[in-house]
Structure 1
Amino acid sequence: MTDLPKSAQVVIVGGGIMGCSLAYHLTLRGWTDVVLLERKRLTSGTTWHAAGLVGQLSPSHNLTRLAQYTTELYSQLERETGQSTGYRQIGSLAIASNLERFEELKHGASMARCFGLEVNIVSAKEAGELWPLMATEDLVGAVHLPKDGQTNPVDTTQALARGAKVRGAKIFENTAVTEIIVKDGRAVGVRAKDHEIVAEYVVNCAGMWARDLGASAGTTVPLHAAEHFYIVTEPLPGIKKHLPVLRDADACTYVKEDAGKLLVGWFEPVAKPWGMNGIPESFEFDTLPDDLEHIEPLLEGAIRRVPILAKTGIQLFFNGPESFTPDDRYMLGETPEVRNLFVAAGFNSIGIRSAGGAGKVLADWMVDGHPPMDLWEVDVRRVMPFQSNRRYLKDRTVETLGLLYAMHWPFRQAETARGVRRSALHDRLLARGACFGEVAGFERPNWYAPQGREAKYEYTYGRQNWFDASAAEHRAVRENVGLFDQSSFAKFVLEGDDAEHVLNRICANNVSVPVGRLVYTQWLNERGGIEADLTITRESEKRFLIVTAAATQVRDFAWLKRNIPDAARAVAVDVSSAYGVLGVMGPKSRSLLSKLTDADLSNAAFPFATSKVIDLGYAKVRASRITYVGELGWELYVPTEFAQGVFDVLVDEGASFGMRLAGYHAMNSLRMEKGYRHWGHDITDEDTPLEAGLGFAVSWSKPHGFIGREALLRQKETGPKRRMVHIALDDPAPLLYHNEPIWFDGRLVGRVTSGMYGHTVGTCLGLGYVENPANGAVDAAWLQSGKIEIEVAGVRVPARASLRAFYDPANNRVKDVENATAVSAAAS
């Protein structure tokens, strides 16, 4: 340890493939004062025993881009560093033994075309020709990705380390970090036993140890190790070299040929968490005990698929730990709790294929001060503090390992570690047939089962068992009145003498409004990208209520706090748990609420975007006239202890108005008809308000400007190169979800960002960004000048596209214009 430096620009903790990739990419960007500390030896822990599969197709556009980059990096790493990596581009073959699995694979193939991947949908016969050792009699089809590959994890890590060291990075093995030093909310270095290294940046790449290391610095890095099993056979004489990696997800099995042998591994549905009592300090290149009883049923399935395994000896039965996160996505980025402390951990058994791209974008993030693309689905700011709870992680890990090969159903819900966060109304909703989904650990009613039916999902890629029930909820909101439990909303208060000035700098819209007014706005970054999409209510001259989505609670609160100047007289408080929220929506919502309050709810007294504290039942609630469903309605912010009483009087009185309880699936179908955007799908930090059709929410001329204004002005001058459009399928049968390719006169021009069936419009709807391939404007004339098609599971479906919503584009329903006009005419 005497050779350790006293300071460094960056200290990376952990010498697996991720830590070495980050060191490599930081030095590639010119940051050469990089120190990497590994507790034992490079690759120990998990990297050394990984299978080394390098697939490219991931669940999203940007994660696929990262996997593509990893492939390109590994293919040239040996030439650059002189270190052999064992990388070979052999392709992969994913097979389906039932129609639903084949449907999933075809959806993935269509998505792959959005990303420019070479992909082939093949028959069972063609699959057998690609993999001759496989039994094919029960197959219905397969998908072949010719450019997928495999690599040697240890050699590839050493190549990355060598590349980093050549450019100046220093790597120290057998140097365990015992503390990340934090001062004034910022990481300033690390301590390795009695040696301290002062640093501008610290990065937690500690793999299975990342949770505990992060917790010691006051940060949330939820992951848990699980046992992962594979076998390696004896050599098979005459086996074809360089077979594609075989994935038989229905059998939870992957198979790769390596040096004339077969490596067969599994992602079983019920996994075995490991390390609940901590990982031994001596753990390095250790293996875990065999458990043939646990894996025997899966081995039998592998033998059915590859019969030669029954006649082949097993050279190695391997069991080693891999770390998994609660949602099967890795953790990347700057922690919300501590500035300049970054994390890259929890790679869910796909660390080898992820490390190249993740190392690149994290290096870019650190050097440039912001992520180079939308990385929300792996951003560490998505996780809630409770998710680092050890018992929660252990229980969820039983399921998450197997999810890698489970059916990725639309709307699939986690089954383990449920019921963590519940609204005060949970039991009442459950008694009325609610089927709950989970967001950020919050139980939310997605749909309500009719009397006599079980409130349980039956998954399919077609219309699921809740389709008709949700349609009835949708119609109730359009025709009468619906009641939503929206208590999961995140709610913040910003209060102080400078609150207005601070918010006006953060918000694209102008919050200098009278007390009792709501403002819909975005928070932008310096590049004009949308960091948050929310509403702000002015409760008093010095107090504002900020309401945003449950999923972005941690992210948005961190963004708010970090953009409050140190000298500003303004304090932010997260008050999410203080209020339940009830959405009363529909053309009869005014009539219903008027029965329960003496407040004047008329258009004249209570116009759209107004918020007042009113008496309702026995409670005082904040009633805000706003909507996410495109109808007249109010969101009621009720102190939590009053929520049940308010709910009860709404239900009792609502019966005479035909009121129905409505869930989030109905809210989704309603908002799709109106084209309301969803942050994380339709709008992200890569998308600007001008591209997203949200320019109406930008206040260009307000004093002192706002974050991102200059970037938006530049785009306004040149015009956005892409625009969000509304899509409606001509055929009402197919369903859209997301990432379906959009074709215009046979050319790929974009992809669907979100989709849902519109029960009022009578067909499936989508939102998506498109570009004019002729470098012209995306306007109504161009959209009508050609043939629009959406590719759904390999089939192109004719569609129409519009820049305006398909339902009530003039917002007459929201503002109750028709009723206001009728009242005015009657009065005259």
Structure 2
Amino acid sequence: MEPTDSLPTQADTVIVGAGIVGCNIAYQLTELGREDVVVVDQGPMPTTGGSSTHAPGIMFQTAEPKVLSQFADYSRRLYSDLEGADGHQAYNETGGIEVARSEERMDFLQRRVEYAKAWGIEDPQLLSPEEVTEHLPLVDADQIKGGYYSPTDGQVSGVVACDALAREAMERGAKFVPHTRTEDVETENGSVQAVITENGSIECNEVVVATNIWARQLGEKLDVHLPVTPVEHQYTMTESLDELADSAVDITDHPLFENYENVSGEKAKRLLVGPDRPILRDQDNAMYYRNHGDSYGIGSYNHDPIVPDPQDLGGNDPDGEQGSVHEFTDYHMNNATHPDRPDKAPRQASDELLPATAGKELEHKYNGMFAESPNGLPVMGPVQEYDGLWTAAAIWVTHAGGAGKALAEWMEHGVPRLLSGPIDLAHCDVNRFDEHEGSWDFARDIGGEEYRIVYNIMHPKWVWTETQRDIRRTPMYHTHKKYDAELWAEAGWEEPHWFDSNADLLAEYGDRIPDREGWEAKYWSPIEGAEALNVRNNVGLHDMTSFNKMEVIGSDAGEFVQYLCTNDMDIDVGDVKYTLMCNEGGGVRADITVTRTDEDRYLLLTTGREVGNNHVAWVREQSPDDVVVNDVTSSLAAMVCTGPNARKVLSKVTDVDLSDDAFPFFTSQQFFVKNIPVTALRVSYAGELGWEFYTPSEYGERLWEHIMEAGEEYGIRPYGNGALNSLRIEKGFRLWGKDLHTEHNPYEAGLGWAVDLETDFIGKEAVAAAADGDNIDHKVACLTLDDEDAVVLDNKPVLDGDETIGYLHSAEYGYTEGACVAYTYLPPEYAEPGTSVEILYEGERYDATVREEPLVS
């Protein structure tokens, strides 16, 4: 089967872009049984001229985000099963080595081992300098402290893989149409109707935008502002090296060579040659390496970010110019321009690590482009603005196989899955973005910053410090500044993590807050512990404006809310109920608090930060025409007053009876706090006596002041997210996106009590199938470290001997409990209280014990 020049006039699904992502999606959709799939691309095939054509194809599987390692692991397995046009396996399993030039980087590589164990990457190893050179003799052992070795890492040629994937997709009925630029997508009444190309239109039901660096351009035509940023990095290939003479290969007889040469020119003679030794990464100098026969390829992120405007990107013209390649900038190779690496030029760093390259000519060199997103993760899924419009962008060759599989399953069955089961894509979802992220100013700056930090040692709690800050301010922003809040950017919101004005609380509580040092001490203050203990003992006030809030309105709103929710939602006006929303596969899509505020009006409260927008999009997608779903996150200020003295404080500013009889738990009332109108809910994520307050944003600051003034005599203090995370984990409250997400059903998550199988809801069939517990492979488990002074961070492997049995989803120190608390999912036999396990953290093993939850009642 071959690509066709004949443009179909109709198709069920059109994929725009035949690079590694588009080809993977076509392969997966046709494997799931779809036949009416058309793939169009502006360039020739399989060498379309996009990033897949110029990419060297190295695949390091281990990443800090679990989803990237899952994608990479699947990609490796898929590419290993593909047969290239030359009859050989498409994937070169050479192994991959990351070296350390500093002790700090060696600590980082130990974390790589721990991530690999947590995510299931095979046989991760730390190597001594001498062991590194056993695999890579050209590396100067004197330049390094050691290395991280992943034996199943390797390389795949994007062109070889695209060709193999496309051939199999075409054999199953897909059509590939080259030399066809997409100009627009026609829509009507909020639904996709057709793809408009330079050669005609294709009527269709679904469109997947898989155009990577060009994704933003097509999105703008639809008023869908995709924050996908093209960035440039450098790639060069040396002249032939005597030390690699035995690896010399003549690739000109490869079946794809002529096609490749037509697009890439002479460098195709190097690019098409796979490596015969481990791929190499020197992250301290933002460099990576692989051999191309008897030449070494040198990739460099070690320069100042170069971010071209998407509107200035060309296409792939008939003369063979690649739109994804810009002219090589010698200055960036020969001078130290990276903001975080000002002391050594990339060429110097390269020649030190690989002395064989010193003084050698760089025969082929170019600036190749790839796409970044604001959190460095893919941008994929159904676009909420249009039925039938899907995206798959900012995805590398390494992750394209897994991303293609997950997206195809999502499109066909409604739930993203890999072979191992459901995969949670909350942090990859195209609908996660806030409005400001669609601006080019934001996307340009953050895309450049993502490029800058791609090889930096980044702490999991790190947040942007300068770039694109101070965008969204809660009504209490100036008050927070007055109290010297440590503000972190969360989905653009400036949110307090702790308040330096509370440092005096350490005199009272400091002896209950263990000292920290090392990795776990970064982005932490003992004030977090003091704030948490003050809430437990006195009273605190927390700004929760950034939590996503939705109003569901209409005569059928009650019926719709029931359809969304797993619990029995037949509630009276003023009632509040905790419930779950599940997807079609029974995975927990969100946990929410639902308040019936009127006969035909409900308030839905859910997780904040970037994942909360996914929930808003999900609810809107499910809603019938006669129900209105309003996102009221920005229009309502929100705060919670909580702690043993909360009732005393609030009784000073309202005449409402706040007693248990008059204002029971999980009820709401509307009244005034002095002169401020509020909707008050008797709930608290901190787990103490408390009330949440919602008021129009313009009243928020004054409401905060009223409560703070009333609470002065009772020891009220503002508290930040650091304290809240500690408070909630002690109470066993789940945090969606961390210890609760779509990879778990309600029974695995220990939330079966929030399910009523007598009602009908999305995913009921799958949830009911899990209700008897027979098919549960993992159950939620609460752990505490046996050493009361020890602290670990999340995403670390849980061990039984040398066997990994789970990983930490959340971990926070519980200051009331007096121990570090963690939540994980373990095989049922390990999830029983009293079971002893170990946690691997920073190279040390920590004893931990499974406990009954909640720890604090």
Same fold at TM > 0.5: yes
Determine the structure 1 residue equivalent to 2:268: none
Match of 1:36 among 14, 36, 39: 39
2: CA distance between counterparts of 1:441 and 1:587? 33
Match of 2:389 in 1: 341
Residues 657 and 274 of structure 1: CA distance in aligned 2, closer, same or farther (over 3 Å): same
Q: Does structure 1 retain, via aligned residues, the 8 Å contact 2:794–2:811? A: yes
Give the corresponding residue for 2:410: 365
- 2:745/2:770 contact within 8 Å kept: no
User: Structure 1 residue aligned with 2:178, among 152, 173, 180?
Assistant: 173
Alignment of 1:248-267 (within 5 A): 248-267=282-301
Structure 1 position 230, deviation (Å): 2.2
1:764 aligned partner, one-letter code: C
Pick from 11, 16, 24 the counterpart of residue 21 of structure 1: 24
Matches within 5 A, 1:268-279: 268=302, 270-275=304-309, 277-279=311-313
Output the CA distance in 2 between the equivalents of 1:475 and 1:76.
56
Aligned length: 789
After the TM superposition, which residues 399-798 of structure 1 pair with which residues of structure 2 at under 5 Å, given as runs? 399-415=449-465, 416-450=467-501, 461-464=519-522, 466-550=524-608, 551-566=610-625, 569-702=626-759, 705-719=760-774, 720-744=776-800, 747-772=803-828, 780=832, 783-784=833-834, 786-798=835-847
| Aligned counterpart, 1:825 | none
- For residues 768-798 of structure 1, what are the alpha-carbon distances to aligned partners after superposition, in whole Å with 9 as ceiling and x for unaligned? 11114xxxx5663xx43x5311122343211
Structure 2 CA distance for partners of 1:522 and 1:55, relative to 1, 3 Å: same
Report the counterpart of residue 100 of structure 1 in structure 2.
104
Which residue of the other structure, out of 5, 9, 29, is the alignment partner of 2:8? 5
Correspondence 1:305 to 2:353: yes
Once the two structures are overlaid, the 10-residue window that deviates more, 127-136 or 177-186, is 127-136
Amino acid in structure 1 at the alignment position of 2:717: R
Compare 311-320 and 178-187 and name the one that shifted more: 311-320
The aligned counterpart of 1:160 is 165
1:290 pairs with one of 324, 328, 344: 328
Matches of 1:616 and 1:668, distance apart in 2? 27
Partner of residue 826, structure 1: none
Q: In structure 2, how many angstroms separate the alpha carbons of the residues matched to 1:237 and 1:375?
A: 47
How far off its partner does 1:194 sit?
A: 6.0
2: CA distance, partners of 1:180 / 1:473: 52
Structure 1 residue 16: Cα displacement: 1.2
Distance 1:448 1:570, change over 3 A: same
CA contact (8 A) 2:316 2:322 kept: no
The answer to whether the 8 A contact 1:336-1:555 is kept is no
Post-superposition Cα deviations, 1:679-710, rounded to whole Å, max 9, x if no partner, equal 111111221111101112122334xx222333
**Are the structure 2 counterparts of residues 722 and 151 from structure 1 closer, same or farther at C-alpha, using a change threshold of 3 Å?**
closer
1:269–1:399: 8 Å Cα contact kept in structure 2? no
Which range is displaced more, 166-175 or 304-313? Answer: 304-313
- In the alignment, what sits opposite 1:824? none
Alignment CA distance shift 1:585-1:268 (3 Å): farther
For the residues of structure 2 that align with 1:70 and 1:355, how far apart are their CA atoms?
A: 7
Cα deviation per residue 1:61-105 (whole Å; 9 max; x = unaligned)? Answer: 4432321121122223126x6566763211111122333332232
Structure 2's unaligned 5+ residue stretches are: 248-275, 337-344, 505-515
Amino acid aligned to 2:741: T
The farther-off stretch of 82-91 and 412-421 is 82-91
Answer whether contact 2:461 2:523 (CA < 8 A) is retained. no
Tell me how far 1:731 sits from its aligned partner.
2.0
State the Cα deviation string for residues 689-747 of structure 1 (Å, max 9, x = none). 11101112122334xx2223332222222443321010111124543333322224654
Q: 1:403 to 1:83 in 2, by over 3 A?
A: farther
C-alpha distance in structure 2 between counterparts of 1:143 and 1:379, whole Å:
31
TM-superposed deviation, 1:806: 1.8
Cα distance between partner residues in 1 of 2:492 and 2:715 = 32
**Partners of 1:510 and 1:728 in 2: how far apart?**
34
Contact preservation (8 Å) 1:190, 1:198: yes
SS of 2:546's equivalent in the other structure is coil
Letter in 2 for 1:250: D
Q: Against the structure 1 CA distance between its residues 494 and 609, is the aligned structure 2 distance closer, same or farther, given a 3 Å change threshold? A: same
Q: Secondary structure at the match of 1:376?
A: coil
Residue 584 of structure 1: SS of its match in structure 2?
strand
* Amino acid in the other structure paired with 1:604: D
Q: CA deviation at 1:503?
A: 0.6
Partner Cα distance (1:268, 1:427) in 2: 39
Q: Which moved more, 1:648-657 or 1:131-140?
A: 131-140
Aligned ranges 1:814-825 → 2 under 5 Å: none
Match of 1:592, SS? helix
Contact 1:83 1:158 in 2 (8 A): no
Q: State the alpha-carbon separation in 2 of the partners of residues 175 and 466 from structure 1.
A: 53
**CA contact under 8 A between 1:268 and 1:401: conserved in structure 2?**
no
Contact kept, 8 Å, 2:42 with 2:316, in 1: the verdict is: no
- Distance in 1 (CA, whole Å) between partners of 2:590 and 2:237 is 48
Corresponding residue number in structure 1 for 2:56:
51
Alpha-carbon distance, 1:468 to partner:
0.8
The answer to whether the 8 A contact 1:85-1:152 is kept is no
| CA distances 1:10-37 after superposition (whole Å, capped 9, x unpaired) | 1110121111121122222221221111
AA matched with 1:325 = S
* Matched residue, 1:91: 95
Following the alignment from structure 2 to structure 1, what is the Cα–Cα distance between the partners of residues 668 and 68? 41
Instruction: State which drifts further: 397-406 or 86-95.
Output: 86-95
- The aligned counterpart of 2:377 is 329
Change (3 A) 1:143 1:664: same
Secondary structure of the equivalent of 1:35? strand
Change (3 A) 1:82 1:134: closer
Residue type of the alignment partner of 1:124: P
Contact map agreement 1:410 1:461 (CA 8 A) in 2: no
State the superposition RMSD in angstroms.
2.4
Deviates more, 1:97-106 or 1:640-649: 97-106
1:207 aligns with 2:205: no
Alignment deviations for residues 339-379 of structure 1 (CA, whole Å, 9 cap, x no partner): 221111112xxx11111111222222222232122222222
